[in-house]
Amino acid sequence: MSRLIVSMWTTVDGFVAGPDDSMDWLRADADLMDYETGLVENAGALLLGRITHGDFASYWPAVAAGEIDADEGTRRYARRLDQLDKFVASHSGDVALWPGTHHVQDATATAIQRIKDQTAGDVIVYGSLSLIAALNALSLIDEFHLIVHPTLLCRGRPLLDVDQRPTQLELIECRPFLSGAVLLRYGTIWAN
C-alpha cells in the first residue's frame, strides 16, 4: 500500500508562507532539489488542493518543456511531476488542465484510501493547507517531510492552525542541506 506523504517547506517558527503569501525566504539548492526529485521519482501520484494544483499546472509544465529557465535538476523534477497522476480535491470542480489530472469531489477517508490502494508508489501532498488539515483530522497522513529553512518570519500562514488536533510524530530521518535547510522526516503515530 502507498504511503501518503505531506512534503512542506517551512520556516523555523512553523510558517509555510509570509502574511502576503510571500515565499522569498526559501533557500533551495541543488542538494535540496535532488531530495525533492528523489521523492517524486518514488511516487505514484500527487494529491493537491485546487489552488496548489492550479499554481503547479501553470508553472511546472513550462519548466519541464524548457519554456522557463531552470537548471537540469529542477527540470528533471518538473518532468517527473508531468508524468505523475494528479488527484485534485475540489468541491467546485473547477480544476486546471494538466495531463494526468483526476478530480476528487470530496476528500473523504474512503476516497483517499482508494487513491492510496490503487497507486503504485507514494502519494505526495504539496501545499494545500486545507487539504492537509482535512487529511490530518482523518488520520490519513503516514509521514510529514518538513524542510525547515533557516528563517524566522514571526507571522504568516502556519502549516496547521490552532483548531487541529494534536498529532504524535516519531523522527525517521534528520538531514541537513547545503543551504542550511534541514529535512525533518516524521512518521505519524495514530492511536488505535
Run means of pLDDT, 10 residues per run, the chain, 192 residues? 94 93 88 95 96 95 96 95 96 88 93 95 94 93 97 92 85 96 95 60
Q: Domain residue spans in the chain?
A: 4-189
The yes/no answer on whether domain 4-189 falls in CATH 3.40.50.2300 is no
What's the order of all strands across the beta sheet hosting 85-89? 101-104, 85-89, 43-49, 122-125, 4-11, 143-149, 182-189, 168-176
| Helices marked H in the chain | 30-41, 50-64, 72-83, 109-118, 129-137
Predicted pLDDT at 54:
95
Cβ atoms of 31 and 71 closer than 8 Å: no
Predicted pLDDT at 153:
94
Predicted pLDDT at 28:
85
Query: What is d(CA 132, CA 135) in angstroms, rounded to the nearest whole number?
Result: 5
Predicted pLDDT at 119:
96
Query: What is d(CA 52, CA 56) in angstroms, rounded to the nearest whole number?
Result: 6
Separation in Å, CA 75 to CA 18, 65, 69, 155, 185: 26, 8, 9, 32, 24
Predicted pLDDT at 164:
78
